[in-house]
């Protein structure tokens, strides 16, 4: 892998998109379940996040047509203080490019069941998420 | 890692109420989980009937088999008198997570996509212990 293009600045705001369908965020209690940060088998190089400098919250929350999403808001400097690395990854596995796409490589498919990752997931949900935005509904596509 | 009998591993779940001392030193009983197991089981059965509700971008829903195991686990814990969890959610990777919150103490029973189960115990977001469980 080459040199990181447009590295994430310490002052940046980052978003983690949370599908409402999973029940990971309870609006009534304001509790965010750490499953929102659990890597899945496809997160080979890390879980995805969106850089706030390139997208509005509404844009960052766009997902599947007709579905609803929340955004967990994170600060790059606070991640760094907890030794959670955030890196720019504009090249998507699909072959497309998205300058706003970034990842947390420390939480990935290979280590998703580890003791260390379970601790990081909880820290991200309970301590490092400064607020949860939304809900945002992705409009249905019109042909 | 040690595999333990689930009954002994989650002994703490048996407390229906929790002792709490407030700032004036007054001892009180606090109901630590008002939700009933039936609510949790009904939610899992709802998934079983319509697993597509959990299909979304970037996640893998649990299979029907995993949901069935989750229902069996919930029924077993209910029968044995354990306090119901605060929530049950899919883990986004084919598994299911039961979460029990009591102040800073969080306990999670994670049913992984391969059917294995572990209990994780947290204090103030720090994971302090993880134990593999088996249904005997």
Residue A51 Ramachandran class (φ > 0 left, ψ -120 to 50 alpha, else beta): beta
Percent of chain A at pLDDT above 90? 91
Interface of A with B in 100-119 (CB under 8 A): 112-113, 115, 118-119
Show me where the domains of chain A are located.
13-134
Q: Listing from the earlier edge strand, what are the strands of the sheet with A13-19? A: A87-88, A101-104, A47-51, A13-19, A68-75, A131-137
User: What are the chain B neighbours of A38 within 8 Å (beta carbons)?
Assistant: 91-93
Give yes or no for A82 touching B (CB within 8 A). no
Residue of A nearest to B104 (CA): A126
pLDDT at B82: 86
Residue of A nearest to B97 (CA): A35
Q: What is the mean pLDDT of residues B50-79?
A: 95
Task: Say yes or no to pLDDT of A58 above 80.
Answer: yes
Show me where the domains of chain B are located.
3-134
At CA B55, angle to CA A129 and CA B106, rounded to 5?
Answer: 40
Residue A38 has its nearest CB partner, among B92, B99, B125, at B92
CB contact under 8 A, B93 and A23: no
Higher pLDDT, A104 or B103: A104
pLDDT (tens digit per residue) in A72-109: 999 999 999 999 999 999 998 888 999 999 999 999 99
pLDDT at B63: 97
What ipTM, to 2 d.p.?
0.92
Distance CA(B65)–CA(A58), nearest Å, equals: 36
Distance CA(A22)–CA(A143), nearest Å, equals: 28
Is the pTM above the cut of 0.90? no
CB contact under 8 A, B122 and A22: no
- State both tokens at B6: 């689930």
CB contact under 8 A, A118 and B99: no
Give yes or no for B87 touching A (CB within 8 A). yes
CB contact under 8 A, B125 and A126: yes
User: What are the chain A neighbours of B125 within 8 Å (beta carbons)?
Assistant: 119, 122-123, 126-127
Give yes or no for B5 touching A (CB within 8 A). no
pLDDT at B4: 39
Task: Say yes or no to pLDDT of B14 above 50.
Answer: no
Distance CA(B56)–CA(B36), nearest Å, equals: 28
Interface mutation target, options B50, B56, B108, B113, chain A, most CBs of A under 10 Å:
B56
Q: How many CB pairs lie under 8 A apart between chains A and B?
A: 75
Cα distances (Å, whole numbers) of residue B36 to A9, A108, B42, B79, B103 = 46, 35, 10, 12, 19
pLDDT (tens digit per residue) in A2-27: 567 799 999 999 999 999 999 999 99
Give yes or no for B102 touching A (CB within 8 A). no
């Amino acid at each position: 892998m080459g040199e990181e293009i447009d590295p994430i600045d310490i002052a940046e705001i980052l978003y983690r998109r949370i599908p409402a369908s999973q029940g990971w965020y309870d609006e009534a209690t304001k509790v965010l379940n750490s499953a929102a940060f659990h890597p899945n088998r496809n997160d080979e190089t890390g879980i995805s996040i969106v850089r706030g400098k390139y997208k509005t919250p509404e844009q960052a929350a766009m997902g599947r047509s007709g579905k609803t999403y929340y955004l967990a808001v994170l600060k790059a400097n606070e991640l760094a203080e907890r030794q959670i690395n955030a890196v720019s990854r504009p090249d998507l596995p699909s072959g497309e490019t998205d300058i706003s796409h970034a990842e947390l490589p420390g939480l990935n498919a290979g280590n998703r069941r580890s003791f260390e990752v379970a601790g990081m997931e909880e820290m991200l949900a309970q301590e490092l998420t400064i607020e949860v935005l939304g809900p945002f509904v992705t409009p249905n596509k019109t042909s | 890692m040690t595999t333990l009998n689930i009954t002994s591993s989650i002994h703490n779940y048996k407390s229906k109420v929790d002792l709490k001392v407030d700032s004036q030193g007054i001892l009180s009983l606090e109901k630590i989980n008002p939700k009933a197991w039936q609510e949790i089981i009904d939610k899992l059965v709802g998934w079983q009937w319509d697993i597509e509700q959990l299909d979304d971008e970037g996640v893998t829903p649990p299979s029907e088999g995993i949901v069935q195991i989750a229902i069996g686990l919930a029924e077993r814990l209910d029968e044995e008198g354990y306090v119901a969890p605060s929530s049950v959610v899919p883990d986004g990777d084919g598994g299911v997570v039961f979460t029990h919150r009591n102040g800073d103490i969080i306990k999670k029973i994670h049913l992984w996509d391969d059917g294995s189960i572990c209990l994780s115990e947290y204090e103030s977001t720090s994971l302090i212990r993880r134990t593999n469980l088996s249904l005997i």
